[in-house]
Chain A
Amino acid sequence: MDWHRLDTEKTQKIIDRVRNAGDSMLFSPEHSEVKCAKPPFYKDVLLYKITNFSSLPTFSMDFASDGEKFFYLDGSEQSLAQINKASALNLTQETVLPYLNFYFKNISHEDGDIYLIEKLESLPFINSLAPEQKSALERHYRPPHAVYKEESGHFDITSPVFYGGILMLSKIIVDMEGHVHIKEQEMLLKSTIQPHLMEGMTEIE
């Protein structure tokens, strides 16, 4: 998705529209920027990212708008379900993977973030793996693949994912309402990735 920075006037209007009366201090128009993107999987929804640069660390909130209402993407399934209900979700062979990426990026999972591995070289720790781990991963890696199932009316997606510190090969169902269900998972690497150990910060006794 391409994100476009809005001009000052539109930035002001968006911030006025989304800030809650009780929490009006969260975004100040003079120190915030608003970016906007048109996702390929919605027919009539724009995404907005509002970033406040006046605080350390900088702080962002993401919204979706159908032109009538603004929906705050708060990490819950319900927030996305609201948008999918209000909008015409356009899932096709071309848009289902971008949608799945969007879903994982915006929905919080108890055991940690889930990332689709669209390219092996995009794995942040690929060069930190032991040579045998790296070559095993390269041997088994297949890019994400989506198939539409006419009879059941959903997409079957097979994709490598990074979930809870583990590289998995996952079979995922995405139905036409945008619900996502992880059906099966198998480990691609027989070890858990712990960023602090990879960086040699400390060894756990």
Chain B
Amino acid sequence: MTGSNEMPPENLLINEFGAGSTPPDPYKHDQDEQILGEAKDMLREITEGKRLVGVMERYNIPAHVIKGKEITYNNPDEKTIYLIAPPKYQKAIAILAMALACAIRDVEQYIVGFRRPSPDDDPADFAQMTLSKSLDIITTMCKIADELHEKFGVTNVLDTIAELGHGDIYRAYKSEAGYEQLSDLFVQGELSALEDGDT
């Protein structure tokens, strides 16, 4: 990607608008209920997963599954979960369970009053809140991955943590590091990612 301001041919954009047709729903995963069911069943088998599924059920948190190549989640209004799952999800169900757990934890933050920062907040407050919320989610991810690995012997969840660049945090979590050490590692990781992105 570049930061260039040069635009691609305009006519393709101009021709598009005014078509007036409503696009079909291309997002919903055709196995959405099955995916949510399997992911929840897997989480119910581990301690933290069971607690989080309990939160989901107690607060009746709505969840949708949409198709996408990369497994992730999005909680656009802080209360509704969108889990993104690949078309063929079966071999990745543990990663989907981990993503669902993180999404539930994200909503749980909202439930206990730990809201997302507003762009209008003081920049230092914004950064602090973003760090705290992100680290909390990453710690949840480490906990879930560890429990899934212990229970089912799956390793793809650990690979995912490493690929996301949180391997150091996982190691620190495993060695029972405190919040300060975890947050130092998180900040260090973010700075490294920023430097890598600049090169």
Inter-chain CA distance A31–B137, complex, in Å, is: 21
Interface size class of B (residues with CB under 8 A): 35 or more
Contact check, B25 vs A108: say whether CB atoms are below 8 A apart.
Answer: no
Contact check, A74 vs B26: say whether CB atoms are below 8 A apart.
Answer: yes
Contact check, A201 vs B171: say whether CB atoms are below 8 A apart.
Answer: yes
Using Cβ atoms and an 8 Å threshold, which residues of chain B touch A28? 76
Map CB proximity to B onto A180-205 as digits: 1 under 8 Å, 0 otherwise.
00000000000000111011111010
Q: Which of B17, B68, B75 has the most CB of A within 10 A?
A: B68
Contact check, B1 vs A35: say whether CB atoms are below 8 A apart.
Answer: yes
Q: Which of B19, B27, B74, B87 has the most CB of A within 10 A?
A: B74
Residue of B nearest to A25 (CB): B76
Using Cβ atoms and an 8 Å threshold, which residues of chain A touch B58? none
**Inter-chain residue pair count (beta carbon < 8 A):** 153
Using Cβ atoms and an 8 Å threshold, which residues of chain B touch A68? 15-16, 19
Map CB proximity to A onto B65-108 as digits: 1 under 8 Å, 0 otherwise.
01111001111110010101011101100000000000000100
Given known pairs A67-B16, A110-B90, the reply for A21 and B76 (CB within 8 Å) is no
Contact check, A75 vs B23: say whether CB atoms are below 8 A apart.
Answer: no
Q: Is A15 an interface residue (CB 8 A)?
A: no
Contact check, A20 vs B25: say whether CB atoms are below 8 A apart.
Answer: yes
Contact check, A56 vs B133: say whether CB atoms are below 8 A apart.
Answer: yes
Q: Is B159 an interface residue (CB 8 A)?
A: yes
Q: What is the size, in residues, of chain A's interface with B at 8 Å between Cβ atoms?
A: 60
- Cβ contacts A to B, 15 pairs, < 8 Å: A2-B2, A4-B6, A20-B25, A20-B27, A23-B82, A45-B12, A52-B74, A55-B74, A55-B75, A56-B134, A70-B23, A74-B26, A75-B68, A75-B86, A202-B174
Contacts A55-B116, A75-B69 aside, 11 further interface pairs with beta carbons under 8 A come to A4-B6, A18-B23, A38-B9, A55-B75, A56-B106, A56-B137, A67-B13, A72-B26, A75-B68, A199-B168, A201-B161
Residues in chain B within 8 A of chain A (CB atoms):
1-9, 11-13, 15-17, 19, 22-23, 25-27, 64, 66-69, 72-77, 80, 82, 84, 86-88, 90-91, 106, 116, 119, 130, 133-134, 137, 149, 153, 155, 158-159, 161-163, 167-168, 170-171, 174
